[in-house]
Amino acid sequence: MTDVVMPQLGETVADGTVAKWFKAVGDTVTRGEPLFEVSTDKVDTEIPAPADGTLSIILVAEGATVDVGTVLARIGDGVETSGETASTPPTDVVASTSAPVVATAAMPRATSDEKLSPVVRRLLAENNLDASLVVGTGPQGRITRDDVLAAVAALSAPVAENESSSQGNAGSLSPVVRRLLTENNLDAASIQGTGPQGRLTRKDVEDALATGGATGTSRDEVRIPFTKVRRLTAAHMVRSKATSPHTLMVKEIDFERVELVRRAFGAAFKAREGYSLTYLPFVAAATVQALREFPHLNASVGEDELIVHGHVNLGIAVDLDTDGLVVPVLHDADDLSVPTLAAAIRDRALRARSKKLAVTDMEGGTFTISNPGPYGTLLTGAIINQPQVAILATDGISRKPVVVTDTNGGESIAIHSVGLVALTFDHRAIDGGYAARFLARLNEIIQTRDWTIGL
């Protein structure tokens, strides 16, 4: 018998939603064929069957969200005849809770401690709530974290009688949405809902608060709860700072040679590809070339050792607005041309923001580039993406006067495109001299390479 579990789809992903089962109980499955589809805050992807056999039982139904590692189904020699059934899928937006959520005789419930996870037990204790008052929606009626939070919200914040009339087209309000509206003195009817049947989602309220588009009267304080990705991103950043002694080194680079190529080829490139030729693919190409000469930066720290990777798998940090960030990976980036890098970077960014990244798109990174430059930043000290040993930030590039030297040694003032690049490195892995030589080589490549090749 083989358990099918919710996979870890990225380092900062804690749970996932079973979007679709491709097989039914009793169907024959083959190892490697798509078995189900998972949706997370970062990716939507198909998960292959881990073994050959018969899909014996499905324990988590389509639409249900469960923690990483949860057993979703089992593959065996035949259909299981136990009493276990698939858990009831939750709705996309939690329904309005106009009365406390309590269990009835007809509802499945699990109140014994052995059926409660540590998180559920802690939440029950913190809120002085009896498990018998909570409806369990997990497998065999087990109580989940979301079940407890819904019950707490329902018991502590009963709905006003006139709420339904003030919602307009917003539909039922989840506890989180209700709390945001109350804390910020907002009227649900003043915000356009984008959820199913026009329901208000948390993001609708947060967007209204951020843009001032709601008609609330409070201007003193806005409290926006961290999303799951935001919390996990924060935890990853804190863990990185606690793990690695971060050191920042910065170098100014003259990008004029790249700028001349962009001017000469940019219009034709955009007409052919449909998007602009930015500085980033040039920086990426120069970076992977320099990493081949300074391999200790293309590495990870192991147990009292430095693991130097044979391939450059380049991570590109992608901002998800206020929801955190993800780092999709360009595998074997040292084999890619500038146009291919440009296409790959654009593809990963678009799929990251639409939650269409595959599991393999998030795995195996060996070095990362963060690119806040399009926003005109001056200097960014990025946090290392563990377990890598370095990250390069490319900041804003602008036209500035520089001193140029001719072939005879004469000096003059010219206007060039200039910007800063900042390398944050793990001082356990390398020292400052190694980092400085890497940046010097990166600068040399950017200023001397023939960037017309391949364009």
Least confident residue range of 43-47, 331-335, 405-409? 43-47
Nearest to 287 by CA among 365, 382, 394, 432: 394
431 labelled catalytic: yes
Give residue-wise pLDDT tens across range 77-101.
888 765 555 544 443 333 333 333 3
**Superfamily per CATH, domain 232-448:** Chloramphenicol acetyltransferase-like domain (3.30.559.10)
Long-range contacts of 328-333 (CB under 8 A, 24+ apart): 328/352, 328/357, 328/361, 328/362, 329/361, 329/362, 329/363, 329/364, 329/365, 330/284, 331/360, 331/364, 333/284, 333/288
pLDDT of residue 283: 98
The highest-confidence range among 179-183, 193-197, 400-404, by mean pLDDT, is 400-404
Q: Region 156-178: what's the mean pLDDT?
A: 49
Q: What CATH number matches the domain at 2-76, 2.60.120.380, 2.40.50.100, 3.40.50.970, 3.40.50.300?
A: 2.40.50.100
Task: Strands of 331-382 (E only): list them.
Answer: 367-370
Nearest to 344 by CA among 357, 355, 452: 357
pLDDT band at 131 (very low <50, low <70, confident <90, very high): confident
Determine which one of 27, 347, 431, 450 is catalytic: 431
**Residue 288 half-sphere exposure toward CB, CA atoms < 13 A:** 24
pLDDT of residue 171: 42
Counts of helices then strands in the chain (DSSP H, E): 10, 18
- Sequence ranges of the domains in the chain: 2-76, 163-211, 232-448
Regarding predicted confidence, which is higher, 214 or 124?
124
pTM of the model: 0.61
pLDDT of residue 422: 97
Nearest to 288 by CA among 55, 449, 112: 449
pLDDT of residue 205: 83
pLDDT of residue 449: 96
Give residue-wise pLDDT tens across range 255-283.
999 999 999 999 999 999 999 999 999 99
pLDDT of residue 451: 96
Question: Taking the CB of residue 27, how many other CB atoms lie within 10 A of it?
Answer: 12
Domain 163-211 sits in CATH 4.10.320: yes
What is the residue-averaged pLDDT of the chain? Answer: 82
Per-residue pLDDT at 103 exceeds 50: no
pLDDT of residue 353: 85
- Please state, in angstroms and rounded to a whole number, the distance separating the CA atoms of residues 411 and 419: 21
pLDDT of residue 11: 59
